[in-house]
Every structure is written in C-alpha cells, then in structure tokens.
A and B are shown apart, each in its own frame.
Chain A
Amino acid sequence: MKYTMVIDLKQCVGCDNCTVACKLDNETGTGIRWGRVVEEAAGQFPAVKRSYLPLLCMHCEDAECVKVCPTQATSKDENGVVRIDYDKCMGCKYCIVACPFNARYFNEAQRPPAGVPVMGSGDERKGAVEKCDFCHDRLAEGRQPRCVEVCPYEARFFGDRDNPDDPVAKMLREQKCVTLKAEEKFGPSVYYTGVES
C-alpha cells in the first residue's frame, strides 16, 4: 500500500480550512503549520494570476529526512508514510535542513501574541521536530486525513496508489498529475492536478 494525496489546484480557493483543521486536530503550537496554503502570483498587474498552493510533508519515497536522522526518529512506515518518533527525536534539526519542501518545524514552544492563550497539547512536543503524518491515527481507524475531510471544494483526494481501483490511482492514470521538484526525483507522495500551463 502507498498512501497518496492528490490536490486539484483548479478547485483550491485558498480558504485555509485545511490549515486550520490541521492545527486543531494535531494541536500544533504557535508558528507551526503541518499543512499550509501558499499564495502565489504570476505576471504583472493587471495581467496577473493569483493561485493557491497547498503544502504539507510530501512523504517522499526517497526521503532526505530519513537519510540524515542520526537517531532513526524519522522513518518510513510500510505504507509510505514518513513518521517521527518524538521520544527519539533529539532536536538536531538535520532533517529541517535536508527537507526540500520546508515541511518540518522545530517545536520551541513559541508564545502566541499578547491576548491569545495557549490551547492544546502542542507544547508536549517541545524540543522535537514535527510535521504532517498523513493523519496516521485516522488512517488506522479507516478515516481520511483531516485536511481531506474538511475541504468543501473537492480539492483534495487521498488513497492507495498501489490499488488500481482506488480513485486516487485512477486520477494518477487519467489526469495530468505532477509533483514538486520532480526533476530531483525525491518521489513525493503528494501530487498536484489542475495545474495551469
């Protein structure tokens, strides 16, 4: 099984439902966004086109973070999910430097701005590096990652690309899907479709 996400950029409107849902579900602390949406713009006013690019851990087949981790805190599981054992992580940040997609965050228990309380358990990962785990616990319960569940615009799809009957495998076969930094052959498990040429 190879867990895979396909994101349809034509459908993404940059609402940040995914970003906020991820923060709530994983109780991430200040400044930490396992998933985020980056606004981009091509061209010059008025011939400009803004677009939105959702980013998260790419769960690479050839994962640089796994290679550099001195304590094996970062590893790939049997389904292709790159996971972190927070107890083993000693916070050396090699993986942050190695990650080609800026998907990793060092948890330094940063304080929120004045007037905003700390809520949730994010600080329990203080001193470790953290990132998206494709909602591993949800997958174990047979559910979809939270960011897929909360997207009202049908911009996110998740499944097993090894299973030819899976809708995601079908999308990869039938639609033009691309990965980021494809030329560098990290083998991301996150694909994008609906990319405007």
Chain B
Amino acid sequence: MSSAIPVADRTVVKTCCSICGHNQCGVTVALENGIIKEITGDPDDPVSRGGFCPKTMASAQLVSHPDRIKTPLIRTGRRGEGGWREAGWDEALDLIASKLLQFKTESGAESVVMARGTNRGSWIRVFNRFANLFGTPNWTESGGAQCFTPRGLAQQITFGGNALEWPDFTNANCILVWGANTVATWAPKAKKLMEARRRGAKLIVIDPVQCNIASKADLWLPVRPGSDVALAMGMINVIISEGLYDKEYVERYCVGFEQLAERAREYPLKKVSEITWVEERLIAEAARLYATTKPACLNVACTLDEIIDPIQISRVVCLLGAVTGNIDVKGGNAYPRSVGQVSIDSNAFIRLDAVPKQVQDKRLGASEYPLLCTNLPINFPMAHWPAILRAILTGEPYRIRGIFLMGGNPLLSIANSQQARAALEKVEFLAVADLFLSKTAELADVVLPVSSWLEQDGLADSSQATYGTLRTRRKVASFGLSLSDIEIMCRLSTKLGLADFWASEPEYLDHLLQPLNLTFEDLRKGDGYVLGPMQYGHHLRDGFRTPSGKIELYSQRLGEWGSDPLPFFREPHESPYSTPELAKKYPLVMTTGRRVITYFHTGLRNVPALRDVKPVPVLDINRRTAEELGIAEGDKVAVDTPYGSIQLWANPTEGIHPRVIGVPHGWADEANDNLLMNNEVCSHGIGTTPLRGTLCAVRRLAQ
C-alpha cells in the first residue's frame, strides 16, 4: 500500500543524542518532509559505532509531544495550583533576573541556590561558572554526592585521573563490572563489552540483582547491598596472599603496598563471605580470574557513589586495578587524550575565584562535608542538598530565598521527598527550566521551555563516553519557543549583567573550539568530529598526578582530610548486623536507584513508546520470599521503611537474594523511592545519602 505513495523528500542527518547526557551516541535521523521518521544508531560514528538505546529512538516523540512546554510560563494564582500564563523570553528572564538580583542585594548572593539535575548536553561546568559569576557558593546538583563526585575524588586521590571511566573493552581479556548494568546505562560501552565477550573475554559482574549484563557473566557475585568494600577487600586479600598481584607494576608504579597487604589480611574469605552473603568459592574464583586474565578492565557506575562509604568503595575498586597492573595499560583502564579544546573541567573555567573566600565559607554543608563542599585541589565544590532543604525550612544558618533550577526534578530525585516538598513549597521564589511541567516545575513561579537534543546545535564532549573525541550535535527540528540550557544561561547572564559569560551559545561553542582553530560551523558542516585517540602508558612514563607521582594504595592525603588512608569496611548505618532490632521490623535489605533502560532518572514516563514497554514500576523480589509473603507476579505491594512507604508491582525472580529487594527510581507519587529514604545520616566527609543497603519490609496490598 505505502509503496504506492510517491517517495517524499527524504533527508538523513548525522547528530549525537543527549537524552541521557552521558553517552551522547552518534545517530542518523531520517526525515521526510521535515518530519522525523526514525532515529538509528550510526555504525559509522567513531565513538558509539551503532550502540544506542530506546530512549534515543523514542526521542522522536518529544518533538511532537502535546505536553511539552512551548513558551515561558509565569504562575497565576497560588503556587502549585496549576494556573499559568504564557510569556515571552524577555518578560520571563526579566522577572527571574530581578528576583535573583533583589535577593542578592538584600540577603547576599548565598541566599540564591543554583541547582541542576540532569545534563542535557555538556553544560555542568557552564552552569557552575554561571553560578560563580553570580556570586553564590550554593551551586549544587541532584547527583552531586550521589553521582560521580565521590568516585571522581577517589580516583583523583588514588591515581590522579578518572581512569575507571575509560575501560578499554576493545583490548581487554577480562572485564570486571562493579555495580553497573552497562546495558541499561552505557549502551556504547555495552556494545564494546559484548564484542569483547564474543572474542572470548571473561566477564565478572558484581550486582545484587542478576541484571542484563550479569546474565551474560562467567561469574556473577550477588553482593549484599552496601557490603561492597568488604567484598573488594576480600578479593584484594586473595590476590595478594596468593601472590597473583603484578609485582613489577606494584614496585615501579605504586606506593603503600605493604600497608595495603596488611589491611587486606583483615578480610579473610570466611569473614568476607559472612559479611557479603557471597560464597567463599565464588569470591576466590572471581579474584583469581580477574588477577590472572590480562589485560583486565574495570567498568563502574554511580552505584559506587551511593553506598554509605562511597569514597572507600571507589578506592578499593581502583586498587584492584592497580595491584593487578591494569591501570594506564592497553586493555585495562586508560587515560584518553583531549583533542585540545578549552577544558571545561577546571577551576579556571568555572571561575571559582569570582566567589570571595568569605562567601565560599558560607557554602551550605561546608562544616560537615568538607570533601563535597570546600575547595580542595581536586574537586568542584558544591552545596549539600539536605543542608539546603534544612536552611529553607529553618532559616539556619541563613535564609535561602530563591532557587534557579536547570534540568532537575529534586522533588523526586533527592532523598526524603517529604522534606523536599515542604522546602520547595516554602521557598520564596522558584524558577525551573525543563521540557515538561515536572513535579518540581508544578511548584515553580516561572518555568522556561528547554529544547530537546533534536532541537539543538552543540558539542558532544562528555569525556566518560567519548574517550576524548569531540563530536557535533546538529539541530534537526524546532519546538515552540524552546531554547537550549546553555542559550538560556547566556540570555539570563546578560539580564543579570554577569561579566565574563557568553552572549549566545554559538559564541560559547566557538570559544571552546578556538584552540583548535575551528569554529562550530566548520565542525557542523564537515565530518562533525575530531578524533581523540586512546593513549597508554603516559602516566607510567611521566608519573601519575598524585603527590608521590605514583598510584597511592595508601593515601596520606585522605588521612589529612580526616579519613582512613587505607580502605576499610564499615557496616551500613542500618543493616541486619548494625541495627538488629530495626531489622526485626524491617527484615529485607533494599537496593534502590536501579536503572530501567527506557527511562532516565525521573523523565520519559510520558513518552508513549517507552511507557508501553515498561508500564509500571517493578519490585525485584526473590520468588521464594514473595511466596512466603503471599505475593504473586504482578501483585501490587508496599515497600515500607521507618521513613515512608511506597507502592510497586511485584516481579518475583530467582535473580536476587531471598533477603534483598531491588527498587527502581525516578517514578512519581506513590511509587517514588525517595519517600523511603533518610537524608539525615550521610557519608563521612562527602555527605552521600546511602541508597544501596538500607532496611525495609514488603507486604502485599489489597489488589
């Protein structure tokens, strides 16, 4: 039938997705008469080589979605009531600028919080700079202490760079995945991983749930959530005590081996097995396979950032790579080279100097969480969300009057949603930039319409995914008055009179490319990419960027910052062992924050093609445990903690320990996992609210 229709005006555009902000997969977008027909992973893309996911594909439905925000909106009526009027950009930005400047004049710049959630593009540091130039120390992220910050610090401390982010799958003979469902969160990496599998590389996966990637593993270690440090130390103990470590590498490139070996002896297999609920045999086998199959690479994700000791776990995983001689080598974890554009990951770029020291000292959380909130040589300091919520609610240590939020939905995405709601309802002024009226945006005074990645020109330069290669996002559609996040910042910076920002996004993009003698237009019209090749052995030759110039198995610096220089396991603050009384009422151990491939954080539930494939929030629970509780597949169940209760649909499975449950995150209302979380007990130094390994109970609800 359709073959009778004359072939329409067809074009194919190459661009890079940014629906998750991290992977930035190269895709082809096929258009007919300007309408997007299909989006497909581009096998010729130099980075993702055809790897992509359902979120990218279904983004076509964002461009014609009836609920997208088309114009800036200004609240009419009471907050949260749902009354809005459409406005132009000038009016909306003037309103925001006048409020923010008023607060700054009357109460100091610190009375304004600038917060971000997800990264629709690569603008974290651009927003960081925007906040600093405005003068507030209270810039923060929903991720923040829960995502990358702890493991970034651990990597800087240990080997002066983020090698864990760059596994060299292509040349690895063994792959150790620690707490990442690579399939669901890193599609291009998963593609390379599966290619390595096909040519015979071994795969070890550490995850409480037998997730997609764990189902392909040679060895799956279902660790008790929150006990990961003990497991990793147990593996290091096997590797050292059986002499399987790389003696030459350790001698030449590491410091503190003797201290580490001594500490590791405190983690014999029997003890580790009791702590982690993983069989002794399996721990030993995994340690031996990993240490003796060279080269081996490590693949991690933000799970490491979400246990009670996030820096410790990231450190031990780094050390596993180090003692086996797999850091900065081909097939291990390496350090790709930037192609030489302006580096946005630097204190010079974010203009931290624009915030006077006495104002920086006021950063919320600074006294409790110095590793997160104070200016160390190796971090980008930010405010602590729980401290912000408390400040809004109590006025202590000072009043927070306004929040400017980009790409975030903290009402759902930060722990203790009950408190977040109270605070966001109370704050004097809230402005939100987003694609849709999110739960948070519903409470706003002003909402700004943001473009989707299909409606943006920009750069795809997230180093985690692109391994240094720089690529181009090409605009293929437009939607209402929406603008990119960066363009919004540029326009607002003009209204705020910020010096040293850019008047427009094209100007910013050209600035980044200037060292390459390129303009964005050159890149967009040409191939669209500049290759950043993998490099090996650079730090082995010239030294690691640590005080000793070597990989620091023992970190003096960590000791100076108030932590233990060596990894140690601490029982989670609530667990069957640390709080046995509580465990009588809440006998199951919960891991939350689990990712579902069709969604990104709190977004995309309203995209029909995605929602129909994953229609409800699903609880992973062991089949026998479910039986004992009278729960059948598809039953509606409640998950209870001392802090709250939510409702999910049961998925009884054998792929999880009988005393562990897996809870998805990002769902709204009665399925919002952050209603279950306590944000008062946070990690030492870094302020992480533990999301992996807390106590809960499950019960069947009336159907």
A167 within 8 A of B: no
B565 within 8 A of A: no
Report the separation of the CA atoms of residues A46 and B207 in the bound assembly, to the nearest whole angstrom. 12
Asked if residues B215 and A51 are in contact (CB atoms below 8 Å), the reply is: yes
Of A15, A46, A113, which contacts B597 at CB under 8 A?
A15
- Contacts A19-B54, A117-B608 given; does A14 touch B212 at CB 8 Å: yes
Q: Are B212 and A20 in contact, with the CB atoms below 8 A?
A: no
Q: Complex Cα distance A50/B214, Å?
A: 8
Given contacts A16-B597, A120-B608, contact A140 B613 (CB under 8 A): no
Q: Is B109's beta carbon under 8 Å from chain A?
A: no
CB distance from A106 to the nearest CB of B (A): 16
Report A127-150 residues with CB < 8 Å from chain B CB: 137, 140-141, 146, 149-150
B575-627 at interface with A (beta carbon < 8 Å): 597-598, 605-613, 615, 622
Query: For the complex, what is the distance from the CA of A115 to the CA of B597, rounded to whole Å?
Result: 20
On whether A112 and B611 interact (CB within 8 A), knowing A11-B198, A152-B187, the answer reads yes
- Map CB proximity to A onto B233-272 as digits: 1 under 8 Å, 0 otherwise: 0000000000000000000000000000000000000000
State whether A14 touches B53 (Cβ < 8 A). no
**Chain A residue contacts of B656, Cβ below 8 A:** 45
Q: Does A75 contact B (CB under 8 A)?
A: no
Nearest A residue to B188 by beta-carbon distance? A152
Contact check, B279 vs A150: say whether CB atoms are below 8 A apart: no
- Asked whether any CB of chain B lies closer than 8 Å to the CB of A189, the reply is no
A25 sits at the interface (CB 8 A): yes
| A153 CA to B191 CA, complexed, in Å | 6
What is the 8 Å Cβ interface bit string for chain A, positions 21-40, against chain B (1 contact, 0 not)?
10111001011110000000
CA gap between A120 and B64 in the complex, in Å: 10
Interface residue range, chain A: 35 or more
For the A-B complex, the count of residue pairs with Cβ-Cβ distances under 8 Å equals 135
Instruction: Point out the residues of chain A lying under 8 angstroms from B210, CB to CB.
Output: 41, 48-50
Q: Is the CB of B50 within 8 A of A152?
A: yes
Nearest chain A CB to B459's CB is how many angstroms away?
23
Q: Does B77 contact A (CB under 8 A)?
A: no
Q: Is B52 an interface residue (CB 8 A)?
A: yes
Q: Is B3 interfacial (CB-CB < 8 Å)?
A: yes
Instruction: Give chain A residues whose Cβ lies under 8 Å from the Cβ of B615.
Output: 113
Instruction: Report chain A residues within 8 Å CB of B605.
Output: 115-116
The count of chain B contact residues (Cβ–Cβ below 8 Å) is 55
Given that A30-B612, A116-B605, A150-B57 are known contacts, is A137 also in contact with B2, CB under 8 Å in the complex? yes
Contact flag A24-B60 (CB < 8 Å), given A15-B597, A16-B598: yes
Residues of B within 8 A of A24 (CB): 38, 57-58, 60-61, 609
Docked-complex contact B654 and A13, CB < 8 angstroms: no
Q: What's the Cα separation between A150 and B187 when bound, in Å? A: 12
Whole-angstrom distance between the Cβ of A45 and the nearest chain B Cβ: 5
Cβ-based interface call for B106 (8 A): no
Residue among B191, B213, B598 making CB contact with A20, cutoff 8 Å: B598
Closest to A48 in B: B654
Let me know if A45 and B606 touch, CB within 8 A.
no
Chain A residues with CB below 8 A from B598, complex form = 16, 20
A175 proximal to B (CB < 8 A): no
B606 touches A13 (CB 8 A): no
CB A118 to nearest CB in B, in angstroms, measures 7
Q: Is A52 an interface residue (CB 8 A)?
A: yes
- Assess the A45–B657 pair: CB atoms within 8 A: yes
Residues of A near B606 (CB, < 8 A) are: 115-117
| CB closest chain-B residue, reference A44 | B654
Kindly report which residue of chain A lies nearest to residue B1, judged by CB atoms: A137
A149 and B43 CA atoms in complex are apart in Å by 10
The residue that B183 contacts in the complex, of A13, A28, A44, A146, with Cβ under 8 A, is: A13
A-B CB contact pairs (8 Å), 27 listed: A11-B198, A13-B215, A14-B183, A14-B212, A15-B54, A19-B54, A20-B598, A23-B612, A24-B38, A24-B61, A31-B612, A41-B653, A44-B654, A45-B222, A45-B654, A49-B210, A52-B215, A115-B67, A117-B65, A117-B606, A119-B64, A119-B608, A150-B40, A150-B57, A152-B41, A152-B187, A153-B191
B-binding residues in A (CB < 8 A): 10-11, 13-17, 19-21, 23-25, 28, 30-33, 41, 43-46, 48-52, 112-113, 115-120, 137, 140-141, 146, 149-150, 152-153
- Nearest first, the 9 A-B pairs at minimum CB distance are A20-B54, A50-B215, A48-B654, A23-B609, A13-B183, A152-B51, A45-B654, A41-B654, A50-B210
New A-B pairs, 15, CB < 8 Å, besides A24-B609, A152-B52: A14-B212, A17-B52, A17-B53, A20-B598, A20-B609, A28-B612, A31-B612, A33-B612, A45-B655, A46-B282, A112-B611, A115-B67, A118-B608, A137-B1, A152-B187
